[in-house]
Amino acid sequence: MSPQESYVHPFHFLLLLGIPVASAFLLLQCLRCHCPRWLAGAFRKPDDQESTASSPTPLPEYELPRQCSPHTLPEVAAFYQELHTPTRGQTITRQLMHKLLVYSAREVDHRGGCLMLHNTGISLLIPPGAVAMGRQERVSLVLVWDLTDAPSLSHRQGLVSPVVACGPHGASFLKPCTLTFKHCAQQPSQACAYNSNTSLLDAKVWRPLGRPGAYTSRDECRILLSHFSLYTCVLEAPLGQTARKWLQLAVFCSPLAPGQTHLQLRVYFLNNTPCALQWAITNEQPHGGRMRGPCQLFDFTGARADQCLKLKYISEGWENVDDSSSQLVPHLHIWHGKCPFRSFCFRRKAANENEGCSALTNEIIVTMHTFQNGLETKYMEILRFQASEEEPWTAPPPTTQQSLAPCNRLPPELFEQLQMLLEPNSVTGNDWRRLASHMGLCGMKIRFLSCQRSPAAAILELFEEQNGSLQELHYLMTSMERLDCASAIQNYLNRTPRGSPAMIHGGARENYGLELDEKL
């Protein structure tokens, strides 16, 4: 072998090795330039996460639409057939295709119609003439409780309303239809309606709807629809301003039974909308949790401060099981409307630690403070919880040994007495308005009742139309902490002979002919 041949072979070897290496290097540079987000995600280690409970990592300003898992055509067809089958005025809550939905459907002709989702403040009005004469259209109104369908928001944006779908997707009418739902923005001018022109099972593409056709009042968003799709409301303050929204704090717990050693309570941080509270109530049902007392309002700011919940007082005979008396809720979990909650678990102290105090452990009293970090002195809410063994939870408490059948009318003397007690407006709102709220009326109906000559008489008449019993009314008054009204009902029942039917009151009243139809 010549010296030249021995020199050429290494050169050929380097040439053959260098070309693939250089090609791989150029490909890597291209990927790094054109797909930085994909590349970063592919090489991120699990330990690279920097989010903590006190300082959550902000979401990116923009995200690609979420991809939905594929479904078979028969599954999709069955899904939409279920949603568009008339429900005869009923509101259905059901999990379909891994989505928790609340919906109602009906057939509409040239006379128009209205769909309402009860206890949510959501309605859809199809005006007369929107459907051509001689035709019938099936329409549906859907509240989407699947949080993955909400818009992908930045840290400056907050979700202040539910996600609502009108179906069938893409349907159009001869006249605009009106969709109405609640929002919780403190400044309505900062709330913007969003629309995803997609069907319910497709990947969502949310965009601002724009001012024309969308009207935002103090607590309500009203949209004139040219065609049906998905809608929601997003809060975003202009640069230099602070966005705020109203929360409702709801406390839930299971019954306190005799001999029970542990008790857990949960505090939900919810948007101040009826549907958010209904979601919490539905979420608690499998665990036997019931709401304890009325919700309390909280002024929540978008200044990226986490929410703190501190345990301040536990009554004697009980102790906190958890390691800490303070818990944090990440700011974005609340700001983006994820309906988070925090829980505390308490247990009775051992007998040797609690001698002579056994009677005190038959009830528990808890006081908590909640505030945003750094704003404790400015905005703080005090939550007080109380429960006792004697308090029944599974049904409204019987006020006497007798069991009255649901009555269609309240006795005249009791009706007038309750009307006088509930009529004066209370500073805290614990009057006829609180009773209307406990009966599940939305803000629009409450405002309608406030225009009546006697709102208290109107709400009592509505209670009669729902065939409510005196025991149920007594239970509502006790829950409202209106012991004066509860005492009036108790006194009447004590005077009524056992077995005698409830007296029927008659005669016209000031609100004669009051009707609350679906259009409200």
Closest residue by Cα to residue 327 from 348, 341, 315, 347 = 341
- 229 an active-site residue? yes
Residues 6+ apart with CB under 8 A from 368: 267, 309, 310, 311, 312, 344, 382, 383, 384, 385
Q: How far is CA 104 from CA 123, 190, 481, in A?
A: 10, 30, 34
- Catalytic residue chosen out of the listed positions 23, 54, 217, 227: 227
- CA–chain centroid gap for 419, Å, is 31
What are phi and psi for residue 372, nearest 5 degrees?
-85, 145
Q: How far apart are CA 67 and CA 65, in angstroms?
A: 6
Lookup: tokens for 266 = 């949960």
Lookup: tokens for 139 = 């329409």
202: phi > 0 → left, psi -120 to 50 → alpha, else beta; which?
beta
- CA–chain centroid gap for 507, Å, is 41
Q: Are 382 and 368 in contact (CB under 8 A)?
A: yes
Lookup: tokens for 323 = 């390691």
- Catalytic residue chosen out of the listed positions 229, 254, 331, 474: 229
Residues 6+ apart with CB under 8 A from 294: 434, 437, 479, 480
Q: Collect contacts of 489-492 with beta carbons under 8 A, ≥24 apart.
A: 489/399, 489/414, 489/418, 490/399, 492/411, 492/413, 492/414
Closest residue by Cα to residue 368 from 251, 480, 289, 260 = 251
Active-site residue set: 227, 229
